[in-house]
């Protein structure tokens, strides 16, 4: 299975989200490809209704770690799943670096997803400083260990490797070369095998577009892509899905 996921971040209004969803409803999704978009919380349910019966699923960009209660402003994994989400991003670098989510928060959110039966996409990635100081694998090792050690996997788990320096908008937007992606994905696969005997898909994200998508997909240890800004245009997302 190849996963092509589109994180719409906070790029689109409700109206823009619905119009994009309508364009994607007819997108052709090749056999063996799982497409999914991650709209804003405001748009998620309507986008899900609009894409029902299409080849494209819907997920949420983050979740709270507790199922329900007095938690102003939060939406839980349990509620997201009930509203039609198939996946949740957990620990996206923008949540970690802009909104201060810690490895402990990420762990609690992963546990909430597992308890609610919501498939989780654990996002990991090093910063430019980590890389410059030769701390790339140190950072990733720590993020993986805190997230996965002893985690009971009652729902599907995926990993998205998104180097912060390669993300457009919030990061450096510097392209990560496919050979570099392959090396680090191979390393992540070995690292993850310490915590689970399941075959965990590892997606790549960071400035993916219709021009470079195929070069990442061609890497042995890349199971899919997590696309940001290029997923907010029907044309480019459909071309990325078709390039698999």
The token pair at 24 is 């994607």
| Binder among 23, 168, 182, 215 for ligand 13P (CB under 6 A) | 168
Distance CA 163, CA 178 (A): 13
| Stretch of 138-146, 151-159, 161-169, 190-198 lying at the interface with ligand 13P (CB under 6 A) | 161-169
| Stretch of 49-57, 136-144, 189-197, 222-230 lying at the interface with ligand 13P (CB under 6 A) | 222-230
Distance CA 89, CA 61 (A): 5
* 162 near ligand 13P, judged by CB under 6 A: yes
CA trace torsion 164, 169, 174, 180 (10° rounding):
40
The token pair at 80 is 């997201």
> Active-site residue 162, yes or no?
yes
| Stretch of 24-32, 45-53, 134-142, 228-236 lying at the interface with ligand 13P (CB under 6 A) | 228-236
Binding positions for ligand 13P, 76-95, rule CB under 6 A: 92
H-only helix segments in the chain: 14-24, 41-51, 77-82, 93-97, 103-116, 128-132, 136-148, 178-192, 213-217, 234-242
* 116 near ligand 13P, judged by CB under 6 A: no
* 212 near ligand 13P, judged by CB under 6 A: no
* 184 near ligand 13P, judged by CB under 6 A: no
Residues with a catalytic annotation lie at: 92, 162
């Amino acid at each position: 299975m190849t996963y092509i996921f589109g994180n719409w971040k906070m790029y689109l209004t409700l109206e823009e989200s619905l119009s994009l969803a309508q364009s994607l409803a007819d997108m052709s999704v090749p056999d063996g490809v799982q497409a999914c978009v991650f709209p804003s919380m405001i748009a998620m349910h309507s986008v899900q209704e609009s894409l029902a019966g299409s080849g494209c699923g819907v997920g949420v960009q983050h979740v709270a770690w507790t199922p329900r209660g007095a938690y102003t402003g939060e939406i839980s994994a349990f509620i997201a799943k009930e509203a039609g989400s198939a996946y949740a991003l957990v620990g996206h670098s923008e949540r970690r670096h802009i909104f201060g989510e810690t490895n402990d928060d990420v762990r609690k959110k992963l546990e909430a997803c597992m308890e609610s039966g919501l498939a989780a996409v654990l996002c990991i990635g090093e910063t430019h400083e980590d890389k410059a100081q030769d701390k790339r694998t140190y950072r990733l090792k720590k993020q993986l260990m805190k997230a996965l050690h002893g985690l009971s996997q009652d729902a599907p788990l995926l990993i998205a490797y998104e180097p912060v320096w390669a993300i457009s908008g919030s990061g450096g937007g510097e392209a990560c070369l496919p050979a570099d992606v392959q090396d680090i994905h191979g390393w992540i696969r070995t690292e993850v095998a310490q915590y689970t005997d399941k075959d965990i898909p590892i997606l790549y994200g960071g400035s993916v577009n219709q021009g470079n998508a195929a070069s990442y997909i061609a890497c042995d240890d890349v199971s899919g892509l997590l696309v940001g800004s290029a997923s907010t245009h029907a044309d480019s997302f459909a071309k990325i899905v078709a390039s698999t």
